Amino acid sequence: MGKPANLPQQLDSMLRQAVALQQNGALAEAGELYREILELKPRHFDALQLLGALALQAGRLEEGVELLKKALAVNARQAPIHSNLAYALNALRRFDEGLASAERALALQPDFPDALNNRGNAQAGLDRPLDALGSFDRAIVRTPAFAQAWNNRACVLRDLGRPEDALASCDRALELQPGYPDAWSNRGNALSDLNQPQQAEQSYRRALELAPSFADAWNNLGLTQIDLDRHADALASYQRALAVNPDAAETHWNESLCLLQMGQLEAGFRAYEWRWERDRIKAGRRVFAQPVWLGDFPLEGKTILLHAEQGLGDTLQFCRYAALVSKLGAKVVLEVQPELLRLLTTLDGVDQLIEAGQPLPPFDCHCPLLSLPLALGTKLDSIPSATPYLFAQTRAAETWRVRLNDGAQGRLKVGLVWAGGNRPHVAELRKNDARRSIAFERLAPLLDVPHVQFFSLQKGAAARQLADSGMGHAVIDYTEELHDFADTAALVAQLDLVISVDTSTAHLAGALDRPVWILNRFDTCWRWMLERSDTPWYPSARLFRQPELGDWGSVILAARDALAGLTRLTATRA
C-alpha cells in the first residue's frame, strides 16, 4: 500500500501536535509522534531536529548527536542546529568536533550568541582559555543578559588565574538568574581560589538547595571542607556526590586524598587508582601488553618494570618500594626521570635503571610507582620507613664538606628552599603551587638567627628572588653547580639541616636521612597526614604546619624559635 496522497498535510498536522505536546511538557508523547513522522518520511527535517533537541533535553546525548547530524544532512544551512550539535559534542567532551560545529554555526550567523557560547566551551575544553574568554565576551556584547555566558566566562577566568574577575562574572550571572545552581557552585570555586572557604561553603550550600543532586557541587563542597579542616564532613560530601554519579573520577580521586590524609591508607590507596580515569592524568597512563601487577600474582622469577609517574618528589618517596619488590623474587627494572638517574644508582633492589624515554628491556609485568603501596598492602604501621635508602656519592660529598665548612666557619649549616615548582597551565596545580610556596622575603625572621650559615637549595624561577631581595648576603648560593639530584644530594649530605616548603628537596633530605623541617600549608598534601609534627615516611623530618589557611607568619616564627633552640643546643654541646 502506498503513502496517502495527503501525506504532507498529515505530517504537518502530526508535527504541530508533537510541538504542542513538547511545549506542554509531554516529552515522551512528543517523541513518539516525531518517530512516527520519521517512519513515514525518514528525512523529515523538522522531526529530526526537534527529536534531536528532545534527546539532548533528556540527556541522551549520543542519540541527539545522530539525529542532529541527520537533520543537517537534509539542510546544512541552519545555524541553531549546528550550535545545538556543538553543545551536545561539548557535553560528550568531543571538543574538537564541538568547535567545528560552533564555527559552522558562526559562518552562517556571525554573531549568534548561543554559538559563541558553545564555541567558548569547546575552546575551554581544548585548554584555550584566552580564546574561550573572547568567545564569551562576544556573546555577552550581543546579549548582555546571557547568564550562561557570564557563568562560563567565570570558569575560564579561573583557568587564567583571575579569581576576583571570575567572582564578579558569577555575581553578574546570578543577578540575571538568582536560581542558577551552576553559577552558585562556580562562585564557590572562585571564593575557594581566593582562600575564602567559609564564603565558598555558603555558595555551594545555595547551589545544593537549588539542585540537591548536583554532584559537582557536593564534590566542590568536600574540597572546601578540607580547607576548613573538616575531613569527616568532606568524606560525607564526596559520598553524596558518588551516590549521584558513581563513576565521577574526580570525586573518587578527592575521596582518596582525604582518606590518605586521615591515615586510612588501605582504603585511600585503593581509591587512589581512580587517578588513571582523571582527564588530566589519563593521557599519561602507560599502556603495555604486559599486565599491571597490584599484588595479585606471584613475582618469583619474573621481571617487573616499575615506572615513575607524577613529580620528582613522588619518585623520591616511592622508589623505596623497589627493595620490597625485589625481595618477592622479582628482577626489578626501574624507569625514572633524567634528573634522578645518577642518584638512584644508589638505590637497593634495582637490577636495571632506565632513563625515561629510553628503550625498555623485556619485562613480564609492570607497576606505576604510586600503586606499589596498594600492591604491597601498606598500612600506617607498615610504611617502609627505614632511612637512608638513597646516598650521596662519596667523592662529591667530601668536596662539598670542605667547601661548606669553609663557608660556615663553625656555624650551623642550613639549606633553604622556599618555593615548589610552578605549573600555571593546570588550575588545580597552580592553586597547590601557590599555597605551598612562599616568597624568599618571608624567611627574613630565620635569617636573623645567630650562629647559622644559610645555603640556598632553591632552583627554578623562584631562585631569582634571592638576588632581588637585598638579603642575598645572608645566604650562600651554589645552586648554579647543581645539575641533577645527585649533585644536590652531595651538598645536602653535608648540611646540618634543610628547611624547605613541601617540594622534592624535602623528600631528598628525608630519603638521605638528613634532618629536614618541612614548612607545610594548612590544606596539607595527603602524605603528611593531619595534626602530626612527624611523618612515618621520613624519621628525620619535622613538620611545621599552618594553623589556618595562608598563615605562613606563624609557621616561620615557630621554625625561627626552633632554629634558635637548635643553635643554643649545638653551642652547649660544643
Output the DSSP codes for 495-507.
-SEEEEESSHHHH
Please state which of the ranges 14-18, 88-92, 138-142, 348-352 shows the lowest mean pLDDT. 14-18
Residue 462 makes CB contacts below 8 A (sequence gap 6+) with 418, 419, 422, 437, 440
pLDDT above 70 covers what percent of the chain?
A: 97
Average pLDDT over residues 119-129: 96
What is the pLDDT at residue 27? Answer: 78
Q: Please name the helix (run of DSSP H) or strand (run of DSSP E) that holds residue 414, with its range, or none.
A: strand 412-417
Task: Tell the residue number behind the cell numbers 542546529, with chain if given.
Answer: 81
Burial class (CB in 10 A: 0-12, 13-18, 19+), 270: middle
Tell me the whole-structure pTM to 2 decimals.
Answer: 0.90
Say how far apart CA 374 and CA 453 lie, in whole Å: 42
Residue range 394-573, CATH number: 3.40.50.2000
Cell of 253: 580521586
| Averaged pLDDT of the chain | 93
- pLDDT tens profile 153-180: 999 999 999 999 999 999 999 999 999 9
What dihedral angle (degrees, nearest 10) is formed by the CA atoms of 276, 278, 280, 284? 20
- pLDDT tens profile 532-545: 999 999 999 999 99
Residue 532 makes CB contacts below 8 A (sequence gap 6+) with 543
The pLDDT confidence band at residue 573, using thresholds 50, 70 and 90, is low
Q: Which residues pair with 334 in a beta bridge?
A: 306, 353
- pLDDT tens profile 81-99: 999 999 999 999 999 999 9
Alpha-carbon 561 to chain mean position: 35
Does the structure show a pLDDT above 60 at 4?
A: no
Say how far apart CA 416 and CA 102 lie, in whole Å: 51
Side-chain-side CA neighbours of 233 within 13 Å: the count stands at 12
| Nearest CA among 195, 185, 121 for reference residue 163 | 195
Q: Which residues pair with 368 in a beta bridge?
A: 307
Task: Tell the residue number behind the cell numbers 517523541, with chain if given.
Answer: 31
pLDDT above 90 covers what percent of the chain?
A: 79
Full 3-state SS string of 138-207? HHHHHCCCCHHHHHHHHHHHHHCCCHHHHHHHHHHHHHHCCCCHHHHHHHHHHHHHCCCHHHHHHHHHHH
What is the pLDDT at residue 134? Answer: 98
- Cβ atoms of 501 and 417 closer than 8 Å: yes
Q: In what order do the strands lie in the sheet with 352-355?
A: 352-355, 331-336, 303-307, 365-368
| 31 vs 486: which has the higher pLDDT | 486
- Cβ atoms of 451 and 571 closer than 8 Å: yes
The pLDDT confidence band at residue 2, using thresholds 50, 70 and 90, is very low
Helix (H, G, I), strand (E, B) or coil at 45: helix
- pLDDT tens profile 386-426: 999 999 999 999 999 999 999 999 999 999 999 987 766 56
| Residue 161, phi-psi category: left (phi > 0), alpha (psi -120 to 50), beta (remainder) | left
What is the pLDDT at residue 424? Answer: 61
| Nearest CA among 567, 418, 414, 562 for reference residue 495 | 414
What is the pLDDT at residue 19? Answer: 79
Say how far apart CA 146 and CA 60 lie, in whole Å: 25
- Cβ atoms of 535 and 541 closer than 8 Å: yes
- pLDDT tens profile 191-244: 999 999 999 999 999 999 999 999 999 999 999 999 999 999 999 999 999 999
What is the pLDDT at residue 59? Answer: 85
Cell of 514: 638528613
Does the structure show a pLDDT above 90 at 270?
A: yes
Average pLDDT over residues 327-351: 97
Does the structure show a pLDDT above 60 at 530?
A: yes
What is the pLDDT at residue 425? Answer: 59
- Cβ atoms of 508 and 426 closer than 8 Å: no
Q: Class assignment of domain 303-382?
A: alpha beta
Axis crossing angle, helix 7-23 with helix 45-57, rounded to the nearest 10: 20
Q: Is the peptide bond between 450 and the residue preceding it cis, with omega within 30 degrees of 0? A: no
Q: Please name the helix (run of DSSP H) or strand (run of DSSP E) that holds residue 368, with its range, or none.
A: strand 365-368
What is the pLDDT at residue 1? Answer: 42
Does the structure show a pLDDT above 80 at 437?
A: yes
Cell of 486: 645527585
- Cβ atoms of 154 and 190 closer than 8 Å: yes
| CATH 3.40.50.2000 segments of the chain | 394-573
Say how far apart CA 373 and CA 489 lie, in whole Å: 25
- Cβ atoms of 83 and 105 closer than 8 Å: yes
